[in-house]
Chain A
């Protein structure tokens, strides 16, 4: 072994030197290119942005690895999602819904042109919907897709969608970034099956893909045919920088104008950059809620008192403040109030109370034996496992905090870090005690969240199986999408969300927020209301 290792070491040193030289050489090259673009007069109106991954194929009808924000730059929906859940016409100026809630008639915007100059009309909308419906299997997660009976181009600027049964969230679902945004005629491949790729990325959106070097960068130029307000910035360059620290360094050096997203840089780094005062920073409204899900199917957690004790037993305020440095806000409701139908929920906030937690556990029969640190019942210790995504720092830190806090009330929390895919699989297969989860955010909620709660095989339905009013709950959830009366719908949502929360299997922890940090010469930055959309609307540069 020794000989081999010695030789290995020599080769290693040689290799290391070679890599070092090569990287120095490459670094030299990148510096050069950076300088030339910087001195380019055009770059005065070019905004540079960094993203962890390549933007992927610019196809409005496919999913990963295409990046949502980039798809939303090039393609537009019929209807858009605005702050507070307001639905605004984009490519559809207005729409009418029939009495029975089955027919949707869209009055399309006239004088809209695709980026290649071709016309936008009902025919192309129908062609897009038909293509998507051909692959309905692929898109079945989106509720209305499986309920479409017919698509019809009534006349040049009127498009009609007929459903098999009433489904109220249809309009809201049309606002999602994929798969119902509109591709121009030139983009359709032979046979119209866009799930295999598009011929050309032609959309009606404010941006056009100008240049794309896979895994390096992509440049978007503004769409001179755009029907709405023309963006002030002429170009947006998206650099692919996978590592968070590198993004920060590039930003500090001035190579980037904007960093934006969820968890794109370390929170403490964000705070530190903010404190220097040399940059502008912004924190968004809640985009989703971080939830702690307790599996009531597990024996120990089937008792509501144990679940409540676990809720009373940790200092939510201190944990959220400490772990996220105040970036996220303490959540007292499963869905934050900036989502539709959530403003009227009357679930009591649970205050941190160690004594109450201990009392509840005593009541439930979990007593602390003399000289031991873990509670027992019938000789079995109160041991619970918490699963978290090992690559998500916030989840990991919260898990460690909870473990330390639950030890105080005599609960042994074992924490297990797993990869995201395992986490999702185990959640679906109901192989967990406690798990972190979050709702989906705008424009998916609240209907997608409660739908997931009621659907078998996603984890939630099984997790709430010990609720005494489970059947009633499921019935109510099934009724929601079919409602046509606003008041009735509101009432259903309120009682569903209250009931879910009160029985303690779904504990709201904190509201997840996005961050943005940008150079002082960037102006009018605004967070998109749609969680997945691009943040460049209205942005300007004063270089």
Chain B
């Protein structure tokens, strides 16, 4: 009993801490233009690779751009697009999963075999392949990531819908003459969403990692737009003389991903949402 309470409190603390960090990140994202001391793409070769100073709190990069400003603007990119990926993938997954779970039969068979097909490939490989076919660029990477992500949501939602469908209140609704559409809208989706929100916190971390990984490989965000993965890539050549060019964005990625993961874990513990449902 005491152990349980202790764990509860710990998870509560973690949750509060994570919420604060996430809140701050969202603030940074919204206020980047006002917080950043400089234009993140303004090149000034006379000031390249400068150490930290009052003018450039974190120094400058190889083109004399303000590192702090780039980090702040990069938060915009990463968080914004991670959210976009999450919401788009979730929407597609919700539609497909609900349809598949509720309808059953050949619809279910067809949709699930498509999911199987996509899931048969390691997701990173598939993303790389798609980007290779459709060309470099942020748009392609985002679409590719959505394309590989939605199947997972569809799978989970289908599972949840299958078990919900057998619930007595659904049967009651059906008997009382509600249409299929009403049942899905009023009874199924509201019950599916809360656990998904929890899962979303976990998925944000992955999405941010994936975007950064693609940018690191030079496939995602194109210069001069600041992005953490791309910044690490650019700093790579200076690892010996100016390792901080890689360390700052690396730390940011770590902070964000760890925060989202801990937050997701804490949420799922608290609300009893099992990740492996």
Task: Identify A248's interface contact among B41, B199, B223, B240, CB under 8 A.
Answer: B240
Most buried by B among A1, A318, A397, A417: A1
Q: Are B238 and A268 in contact (CB under 8 A)?
A: yes
Contacts of B45 in A (CB 8 A): 318-319, 321-323, 401
Interface: B168 (CB within 8 A): no
Interface: A403 (CB within 8 A): yes
Contacts of B158 in A (CB 8 A): none
Q: Are A400 and B240 in contact (CB under 8 A)?
A: no
Interface: B222 (CB within 8 A): yes
Contacts of B76 in A (CB 8 A): none
Chain A interface helix/strand/loop/mixed = helix
Interface: B129 (CB within 8 A): no
Q: Are A396 and B241 in contact (CB under 8 A)?
A: no
Interface: A543 (CB within 8 A): no
- Closest residue of chain A to B122 (Cβ to Cβ) is A8
Contacts of A390 in B (CB 8 A): 136, 218
Q: Are B237 and A397 in contact (CB under 8 A)?
A: no
Interface: B16 (CB within 8 A): no
Q: Are B218 and A417 in contact (CB under 8 A)?
A: yes
Contacts of B153 in A (CB 8 A): 1
Given known contacts A1-B155, A1-B156, A400 and B43 CB-to-CB distance under 8 angstroms: yes
Binary flags per residue of B21-44, CB closer than 8 Å to A gives 1, else 0: 000000000000000000001110
- Kindly state the separation between the CA atoms of A323 and B238 in the bound complex, as whole angstroms: 13
Binary flags per residue of B239-265, CB closer than 8 Å to A gives 1, else 0: 111000000000000000000000000
Most buried by A among B41, B48, B49, B62: B62
Near A by CB (< 8 A), chain B positions 42-83 give 42-43, 45-46, 48-49, 62-64
- Kindly state the separation between the CA atoms of A266 and B240 in the bound complex, as whole angstroms: 10
- Kindly state the separation between the CA atoms of A417 and B222 in the bound complex, as whole angstroms: 7
Residue count of chain B within 8 Å CB distance of chain A: 29
Contacts of A322 in B (CB 8 A): 45-46, 48, 63-64
Q: Are A400 and B223 in contact (CB under 8 A)?
A: yes
Separation in Å of the B36 CB from the closest CB of chain A?
16
Interface: A3 (CB within 8 A): yes
Residue count of chain A within 8 Å CB distance of chain B: 31
Q: Are A397 and B46 in contact (CB under 8 A)?
A: no
Interface: B147 (CB within 8 A): no
- Kindly state the separation between the CA atoms of A362 and B251 in the bound complex, as whole angstroms: 47
Q: Are B155 and A268 in contact (CB under 8 A)?
A: no
Binary flags per residue of B208-236, CB closer than 8 Å to A gives 1, else 0: 00000000001000111000000000000
Given known contacts A2-B275, A2-B276, A397 and B222 CB-to-CB distance under 8 angstroms: no
Separation in Å of the B124 CB from the closest CB of chain A?
11
Binary flags per residue of A356-398, CB closer than 8 Å to B gives 1, else 0: 0000000000000000000000000000000000110100110
- Kindly state the separation between the CA atoms of A461 and B181 in the bound complex, as whole angstroms: 64
- Kindly state the separation between the CA atoms of A394 and B237 in the bound complex, as whole angstroms: 12
The 4 closest A-B pairs by CB, nearest first: A322-B45, A1-B152, A2-B275, A404-B43
B contact residues vs A (CB 8 Å cutoff)? 41-43, 45-46, 48-49, 62-64, 136, 152-153, 155-156, 199, 202, 218, 222-224, 237-241, 275-277
Q: List 18 A-B contacts (CB under 8 A).
A: A1-B153, A1-B155, A1-B156, A248-B240, A268-B62, A268-B237, A268-B238, A272-B240, A390-B136, A391-B218, A400-B63, A400-B223, A403-B41, A404-B42, A415-B222, A415-B224, A416-B222, A417-B223
